[in-house]
A = this chain, B = another copy of it.
Amino acid sequence: MLGTLLCNPNFKFFTLSHKTYICSKLIIMAGNSYGTLFRITTFGESHGEALGGIIDGCPSGITLDLEAIQLEMSRRKPGQSAIVTQRKEPDDVQFLSGIFEGKTTGTPIGFIIPNTNQKSDDYSHIKDNYRPSHADYVYEKKYGVRDYRGGGRSSARETASRVVGGAIAKQMLPDIKINAYVSSVGPIFLEKPYQDLDFSKTENNPVRCPDEESAVIMEEYIREIRKQGDTVGGTVTCVIQNVPIGLGEPVFDKLHAELGKAMLSINAVKGFEYGSGFCGAKMKGSEHNDLYNSDGTTKTNLSGGIQGGISNGMDIYFRVAFKPVATIMQKQESLDNQGNITEMTGKGRHDPCVVPRAVPIVEAMAAIVLADFYLINKIY
């Protein structure tokens, strides 16, 4: 099987080295905030009382469309279609501060998303077990203690808070258009360039692929995978239009570097490329350079709308790779905390393919990154 991984010939996927250190006692989790001026900080475990967060830096005087926010939540929530997890979580967001008489006041926006549909006993079987390719083992080794119910903090449920932040960021940036969609599911690729797609069709099918034909094939494939008790990976492509020139802070905080980090911080992401991406590495300069039109636009856009880390006004586009969900409904070996190899079968209600629900998360993180750079520059 591994022989098919032709595009990555320089790796073999088995172990060589391994080193165990004993952790010190004071271990913290430092990375729960994102952004400098527009900043989201999240909290919450999958099976605690509530998730939530604080959005810092949302300008005052913005009339928030709360329904639009809830709509984004619904795009991410479980149970929305037959090809995603059948958990029923309403994912209702409750705002506790920062909004007065319908408008933002410039003060921090606190919000919670109550956890209403926890079935914690679904997870008792993993209390003493480390599921393969999950974060169970590293959390226990790092923190010495672990909320084992549904992955705890490592669960993708945390992304619900990001969607709230992204929905508000989108309303702060009304001119900028952010459209993500599923561009591959397993081996099935959408073969059309984004310019030939109609983004308004993305929500027409449960896969969130704007090309109907491809969507049908992808959906069928996911159903088949689910029947096998298996899961499959995929890619999400995101296109950002109407971006002002000048966003991005070189040298370290280049616009694409920050977009890359934001995407790679989403659960299950394994890769990020923008513009010509990995293909660009095969090309010559004479092929790759984007020649100018006299108005400063470019004839081609292999740069992906970013040059030297700064937006140049052209479309920004990038692609994000998601691995298959680790929880499968087949028998698999796992490790218990006594060092025994045991056998387990996934329980609970899990996604056979994560990318349809990842689409709003990708958009949300993109919006958060843009909002932050927008404030740093305050371009208008």
Assess the A332–B284 pair: CB atoms within 8 A.
Answer: no
Q: How far is the CA of A244 from the CA of B142 in the complex (A)?
A: 10
Assess the A18–B297 pair: CB atoms within 8 A.
Answer: yes
Assess the B260–A270 pair: CB atoms within 8 A.
Answer: no
Smallest distance from the beta carbon of A105 to chain B beta carbons, Å? 5
Assess the B108–A32 pair: CB atoms within 8 A.
Answer: yes
Assess the A284–B230 pair: CB atoms within 8 A.
Answer: yes
Note all chain B residues with C-beta closer than 8 A to A303.
133
Smallest distance from the beta carbon of A259 to chain B beta carbons, Å? 8
Smallest distance from the beta carbon of A14 to chain B beta carbons, Å? 5
Known: A20-B245, A237-B10, A241-B17. A28 touches B270 (CB 8 A): no
Within 8 A of B (CB), among A79-133: 94-98, 100, 103-110, 112, 130, 132-133
Assess the B59–A301 pair: CB atoms within 8 A.
Answer: no
Note all chain B residues with C-beta closer than 8 A to A190.
9-10
Assess the A294–B141 pair: CB atoms within 8 A.
Answer: no
Could you say which of A25, A225, A234, A289 has the most chain B C-beta atoms within 10 Å of its C-beta?
A: A289
Residue of B nearest to A106 (CB): B143
Assess the A327–B50 pair: CB atoms within 8 A.
Answer: no
Q: How far is the CA of A298 from the CA of B216 in the complex (A)?
A: 37
Assess the A321–B278 pair: CB atoms within 8 A.
Answer: yes
Smallest distance from the beta carbon of A46 to chain B beta carbons, Å? 10
Within 8 A of B (CB), among A199-250: 225, 230-235, 237, 241-246, 248-250
- Assembly stoichiometry (copies): 4
Picked from B43, B191, B246, B279, the residue with its CB within 8 Å of the CB of A54 is: B43
Within 8 A of B (CB), among A248-296: 248-254, 256-258, 260-262, 264-265, 267, 270-296
Note all chain B residues with C-beta closer than 8 A to A264.
254, 256-257, 260-261, 272
Note all chain B residues with C-beta closer than 8 A to A377.
23-24, 27, 142
Assess the A29–B288 pair: CB atoms within 8 A.
Answer: no
Residue of B nearest to A191 (CB): B9
Residue of B nearest to A237 (CB): B10
Note all chain B residues with C-beta closer than 8 A to A95.
49
Q: How far is the CA of A184 from the CA of B57 in the complex (A)?
A: 38
Picked from B105, B189, B315, the residue with its CB within 8 Å of the CB of A152 is: B105
Contact with B along A40-71 (1 / 0, CB 8 A): 01111100111111101111110000000000
Assess the B108–A29 pair: CB atoms within 8 A.
Answer: yes
Assess the A45–B107 pair: CB atoms within 8 A.
Answer: yes
Known: A232-B283, A271-B281. A249 touches B30 (CB 8 A): yes
Assess the A41–B289 pair: CB atoms within 8 A.
Answer: no
Note all chain B residues with C-beta closer than 8 A to A257.
260-262, 264-265
Assess the B297–A15 pair: CB atoms within 8 A.
Answer: yes
Assess the B25–A138 pair: CB atoms within 8 A.
Answer: no
Assess the B29–A106 pair: CB atoms within 8 A.
Answer: yes
Interface residue A360 (Cβ < 8 Å from any Cβ of B): no
Apart from A27-B60, A270-B304, what 19 extra A-B contacts exist at CB < 8 Å? A12-B193, A15-B314, A16-B315, A21-B380, A29-B57, A32-B108, A34-B252, A43-B107, A44-B96, A44-B108, A44-B110, A45-B107, A48-B96, A50-B96, A135-B309, A186-B284, A257-B264, A271-B278, A285-B326
For this complex, 12 residue pairs linking A to B, each with C-beta atoms less than 8 Å apart, are: A11-B275, A16-B195, A26-B378, A28-B58, A51-B97, A105-B143, A105-B146, A133-B302, A186-B284, A233-B283, A260-B272, A270-B304
